[in-house]
Amino acid sequence: MRRLLRNKLAFAGLLMIAGLVVVALLAPLAATHDPLAQDVIHRLQPPSGAHLFGTDDLGRDVYSRIVYGTRVSLLVGVIAVGISVLVGTVLGMISGYWGRWVDTLIMRGVDIMLCFPTIFLILMVISFLEPNIANVMVIIGLTSWMGLTRLVRGECLSIREREYILGARVLGLPTSRILLVHILPNVISPVLVSATLGVGGAILTESALSFLGLGVQPPTASWGNMLAAGKDYIHMAWWLSVYPGVAILVTVLAFNLLGEGLRDLLDPRSSS
């Protein structure tokens, strides 16, 4: 923790994430208006004391919608990465520990998945499903595990040849205990770093899908669909695009800063 606090950029990312979590949890208190309340008489009003970030084309308060959009982005990012980490870690450990035909089968599956650009793979899958937040989380999670699988596999290939793993095998410990007690704790550090960096990527993907109309659907507030609604008014109502864009930028930057800080912290080759 002391090393993390000394890393100013990582600490700044941690503070930013903490602030975003507080805003998401206290959204009803942080918002100044109902994010769904429409007031067409005051549509496209610029930022003012009554509406801190102005109003959109339906007269809804942009600031309040950004506050509630924080919930959507963090939820999608965390759940999607959680699914990705679960799938990638399990497959990587199985592939790296058992090797042979199991390793070949899983790695060829990874290669096939990597042949498709992720965004096009997501678009292809989601086009057959109803676009909603639950489907978005699952699809992002199930299309972003390949890199983590390779990372965990590489760690397992190294760990399984160490003396304490060989000793555990000689003692007749069950494979499940070896994987969970002796291997998993040694691969958790790179998994943690990859997961932290992955949250930012998942948030960007959700925003892109919502921008295209294939993610979170209106009237639910999402930074992506707010950008989509604002693109038609970019020349006359700049606040509709600028503020959601800044929210995405700050959130992704926060997770990237924290992820880089954790990488420096958990790297055994870094200085103490």
CATH label, 2-42+50-266, candidates 3.40.50.720, 3.40.50.1220, 3.40.50.620, 1.10.3720.10: 1.10.3720.10
How many angstroms from the chain centroid is the CA of residue 63?
Answer: 23
From 230, 206, 243, select the one nearest 64 (Cα to Cα).
243
Under a CB-based contact definition with an 8 Å cutoff, are residues 156 and 186 in contact?
Answer: no
pLDDT digit string (tens) for the chain, length 272 residues: 777 777 788 888 899 999 999 999 999 999 888 888 888 888 888 898 888 898 888 889 999 999 999 999 999 999 999 999 999 999 999 988 887 888 889 999 998 888 877 778 787 777 777 778 888 888 888 888 888 999 899 888 888 878 887 787 788 778 788 888 888 888 888 888 889 989 999 999 889 888 888 888 888 888 988 998 888 888 888 999 999 999 999 999 999 999 888 887 776 554 44
106, 77, 107: which is closest to 197 by C-alpha?
Answer: 77
CA–CA distance from 135 to each of 15, 88, 151, 206 (Å)?
A: 30, 19, 26, 11
**Residue 271: per-residue pLDDT:** 47
Tokens of 104: 């070949």
pTM (2 d.p.): 0.86
Q: In which residue are the tokens 């399984």 written?
A: 160
121 burial type by CB count under 10 A (0-12 exposed, 13-18 middle, 19+ buried):
middle
CA distance 156 to 202: 26
For residue 79, what pLDDT is reported? 94
* Longest Cα separation, the chain: 77
**Burial tier of 87 (Cβ tally within 10 Å: 0-12, 13-18, 19+):** middle
